[in-house]
């Protein structure tokens, strides 16, 4: 079967420092006011009083949404979104395009390898460069699926289960329970600079929520790189009686020795998880060796579906779970093919978590949301990733090549 070649790659942005604020989409932190996702959540910047209350105050939402669109010479177009904004547009249009245009639509692994190796000297271990590569990779998979008229999960080998069960990340696990989710993950609000008082307040939040949801509903804590080993250990033990299922991303990404130590110090029934801000396969290999229980790559930040599949295989070889961080439909097509992903994450992007809103709303059209905490295989049966772009939002293309 002769497949078309890629005619052009284009990059657009929305929101961020140079666009409309509160746009949501690929940069899901870019929400409007009075949103739980920006309400006194502990971060590495929380130790500075002027940046303690709001994550947006230190610039968490300055990048905005990156849209990468790839067009085949038969007119079929694939696209994807991630975080990267105008910086990502420059990388795509001025550097990565040379590895994409002119290639057959199926040559995804070749393009991926060339993008990784050609940016190694300025990419480091992740960040905006890897976000951009991830977005290109996702767009290529979307294009390939549309050309051959198959959903991405079938291109990856097919589903190993009929449905995906979700836990919800947000401020109200009690509401998530009523919506049919299997668990709820809450953000922490305090860190080492708050001392034992901070531990007491977050532990009380967990205990109060446990009283609301009963003994069996999963409860987890997302610490967003804001702690040190001593603080995280004390918090874990303070939450032991509340049957906390796991403590997540307590430390900065590259503190591998710290994660190894933390895993040894938490209560034996509590899992240690992390990975959303790791951006290379080598980084995940080192992370896996620390002995953590679950690796949590973000498919929009780790190198795309191509790298996510490699991470899942790496985790499987060590008997570890891989449960991707958010990423909605882009994760769904992958995790339904992984034997070591028994559940997945749904990020609550409604301001008060009282309703279900698609993670990348309003940028994607047709993005699925769980019903009773579940998304079925049939929901994913459209070509590519099965979503379309809301072009009425006015994306800007700042560069051409």
**Which residue numbers belong to the known binding site for Mg(2+)?**
222, 248, 276
Residue pair 184/172 in contact by the 8 Å Cβ criterion: yes
Structure-token match 């009083």, residue found: 49
The DSSP bridge partners found for residue 59 are: none
For the CA atoms of 235, 229, 227, 128, the dihedral, rounded to the nearest 10 degrees, stands at: -140
Q: What is the 3-state secondary structure (H, E, C) of 182-239?
A: CEEEEECCCCHHHHHHHHHHHHHHHHHHHHHHCCCCEEEEECCCCCCHHHHHHHHHHC
Element (H, E) at 263: helix 256-265
Structure-token match 């289960």, residue found: 161
Cα end-to-end distance, the chain, whole Å? 31
The DSSP bridge partners found for residue 184 are: 168, 219
Residue whose C-alpha is closest to residue 273's, from 299, 252, 296 = 296
The answer for residues whose C-beta is within 8 angstroms of residue 139's C-beta and 6 or more apart is: 9, 68, 69, 70, 78, 79, 80
Residue 111's alpha-carbon distances to 52, 85, 141, 205, 293, in angstroms, are: 41, 21, 11, 47, 32
User: 3-state class of 54 per DSSP?
Assistant: coil
Whether 278 is a known active-site residue: answer no
DSSP class of residue 276 equals: T
Q: Per the structure block, which two tokens stand in for 109? A: 């692994």
Residue whose C-alpha is closest to residue 132's, from 166, 86, 163 = 86
**Catalytic hit among 325, 332, 333, 401:** 325
List the binding residues for substrate: 29, 55, 345
Residue whose C-alpha is closest to residue 250's, from 230, 278, 280 = 230
DSSP class of residue 371 equals: B
Residue pair 254/287 in contact by the 8 Å Cβ criterion: no
- Would you tell me how many other CB atoms lie within 10 Å of the CB of residue 195? 12
List the binding residues: 29, 55, 222, 248, 276, 345
Catalytic residues: 325
């Amino acid at each position: 079967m002769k497949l078309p070649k890629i005619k052009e790659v284009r990059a657009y942005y929305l929101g961020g420092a140079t666009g409309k604020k509160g746009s949501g989409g690929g940069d899901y932190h870019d929400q409007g006011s009075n949103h739980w996702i920006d309400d006194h959540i502990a971060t590495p910047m929380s130790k500075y009083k002027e940046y303690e209350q709001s994550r947006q105050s230190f610039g968490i939402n300055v990048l905005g949404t990156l849209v990468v669109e790839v067009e085949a010479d038969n007119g079929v177009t694939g696209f994807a979104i991630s975080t990267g904004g105008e910086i990502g547009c420059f990388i795509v249009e001025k550097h990565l395009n040379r590895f994409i245009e002119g290639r057959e639509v199926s040559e995804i692994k070749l393009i991926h390898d060339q993008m990784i190796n050609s940016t190694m000297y300025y990419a480091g271990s992740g960040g905006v460069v890897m976000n951009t590569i991830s977005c290109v990779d996702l767009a290529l998979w979307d294009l390939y699926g549309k050309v051959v008229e198959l959903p991405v999960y079938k291109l990856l080998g097919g589903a190993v289960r009929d449905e995906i069960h979700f836990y919800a990340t947000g401020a109200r696990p009690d509401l998530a329970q009523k919506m049919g989710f299997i668990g709820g993950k809450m953000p922490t609000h305090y860190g080492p600079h708050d001392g034992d008082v901070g531990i007491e307040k977050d532990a009380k939040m967990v205990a109060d929520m446990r009283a609301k949801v009963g003994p069996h509903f999963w409860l987890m804590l997302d610490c967003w790189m804001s702690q040190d080993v001593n603080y995280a250990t004390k918090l874990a033990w303070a939450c032991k009686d509340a049957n906390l299922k796991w403590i997540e991303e307590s430390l900065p990404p590259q503190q591998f020795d710290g994660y190894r130590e933390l895993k040894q110090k938490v209560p034996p029934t509590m899992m240690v998880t992390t990975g959303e801000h790791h951006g290379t396969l080598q980084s995940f290999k080192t992370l896996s060796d620390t002995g953590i229980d679950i690796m949590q790559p973000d498919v929009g930040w780790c190198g795309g579906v191509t790298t996510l599949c490699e991470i899942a295989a790496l985790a499987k070889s060590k008997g570890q779970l891989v449960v991707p961080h958010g990423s909605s439909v882009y994760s769904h097509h992958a995790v339904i093919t992984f034997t070591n992903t028994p559940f997945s994450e749904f990020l609550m992007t409604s301001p008060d978590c009282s309703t279900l809103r698609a993670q990348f709303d309003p940028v994607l059209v047709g993005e699925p949301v769980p019903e009773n905490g579940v998304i079925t295989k049939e929901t994913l049966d459209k070509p590519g990733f099965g979503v379309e772009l809301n072009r009425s939002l006015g994306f800007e293309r700042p560069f051409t090549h």
